[in-house]
Amino acid sequence: MMYISSNNHKTYLTEEDTNKLTEIAKYLIDRIQLPQLGIYRELSEEELWFNLVLKICAIGGASLLQDLQREEARFHEFREKLSLSTLLTKTDLRKEYIAGILKEYKATRFYNKQAGKIDSLMNHPSVIYGGHFVLLNDLDHDRMDFREIRSRLISRNSHFKLKSASEYMIDVGLSIDVISLNVRTAELLGDHFGLKVDRHKLQDTKYIYESVEDGLRNGCNQIGIPLAYLDRMFYHFGEKDAISFILEDL
């Protein structure tokens, strides 16, 4: 039994829950691509930048962004219009330009607010400096553990929170030892794995977030899968009916 302490109560994964996680992972192993560690070393500045843009857009409407990503040609146009090289040429009214693109492609509900965030990243020397993407400078998964990497990312980009920083780390391969926890994930963990946490405090309370994360990591270690695989599992099959279907189909 893996206990997770949180204020005056404990939540935990029982042996039964861990066995359930094992069966779900086996069911999905050929359906979900395992996240890759270290791919940031092979990705271009443009790829690293656009992934960051997507994280900002997702904060204002993940479902809209997912709809856009299903339209390959349209999504490619969207990517080109918000590329680092394109935005570097928009020295005047860049925020307005970004807002127009976000609205045109329906990438987020809060296009003005998210445009301001993206524009601020362009102006932040810890993200873009001298026309280059520098957010990941000196970050190395071989030398640093996930806590240090995540802490530095959050300090360099004020728009990152524990969830979004973790998600970015998984996407670019800075770590596969984290999970992006949100209200929806907390509900699923409660429904299917018996975890009981204050879902509304999860993203904003470092102690609670890391306690849940540590407990899930222990469970994943027991069955030999990286924590980030669990993250991908909830991302792709996170609807309650989908997880329930998998459990019924086992």
Q: Residue 245 maps to which CATH number?
A: 1.10.1670
Q: State whether 9 and 56 are in the same domain.
A: no
Q: State whether 18 and 64 are in the same domain.
A: no
CA-CA-CA-CA torsion for 15, 21, 23, 29, nearest 10 degrees?
A: -150
164 occurs within a structural domain? no
In angstroms, the CA 203 to CA 181 distance is 7
From its phi and psi, is residue 170 left (phi > 0), alpha (psi between -120 and 50) or beta? Answer: alpha
Report pLDDT digits (tens) over 98-150.
999 999 999 888 999 999 999 999 999 999 999 999 999 999 999 999 999 99
Indicate the residue among 136, 160, 191 that finishes a domain: 136
Which residue has better confidence, 12 or 206?
A: 206
168 occurs within a structural domain? no
Q: State whether 62 and 118 are in the same domain.
A: yes
Q: State whether 24 and 72 are in the same domain.
A: no
In angstroms, the CA 15 to CA 106 distance is 44
145 occurs within a structural domain? no
Q: How confident is the model at residue 236 (pLDDT cuts 50, 70, 90)?
A: confident
Q: State whether 185 and 233 are in the same domain.
A: yes
192 occurs within a structural domain? yes
Q: State whether 82 and 131 are in the same domain.
A: yes
Q: State whether 114 and 194 are in the same domain.
A: no
Expressed as residue numbers, the domain containing 194 is 2-35+177-249
Instruction: Using the predicted structure, report yes or no on whether residue 187 has a pLDDT greater than 90.
Output: no
166 occurs within a structural domain? no
Total domains in the chain come to: 2
Which residues, 6 or more positions from 185, have their beta carbon under 8 angstroms from its beta carbon? 179, 234, 238
Mean pLDDT of the 161-190 span: 90
SS3 of 39-98: HHHCCCHHHHHHHHHHHHHHHCCHHHHHHHHCCHHHHHHHHHHCCHHHHHCCCCCHHHHH
Question: Structure tokens of 155?
Answer: 């300090």
Q: State whether 53 and 110 are in the same domain.
A: yes
E strands present in the chain:
2-6, 9-13, 128-129, 132-133
In angstroms, the CA 150 to CA 162 distance is 8
Q: State whether 130 and 55 are in the same domain.
A: yes
pTM of the model: 0.87
In angstroms, the CA 39 to CA 49 distance is 14
Q: State whether 47 and 97 are in the same domain.
A: yes
Q: How confident is the model at residue 74 (pLDDT cuts 50, 70, 90)?
A: very high
- The reported pLDDT for the residue numbered 185 is 81
Q: State whether 110 and 193 are in the same domain.
A: no
In angstroms, the CA 167 to CA 155 distance is 16
| Closest to 214 in 3D by CA, of 12, 9, 8 | 12
CA 161 to chain centroid, in Å, comes to 10
- Name the amino acid, one letter, at 83: S
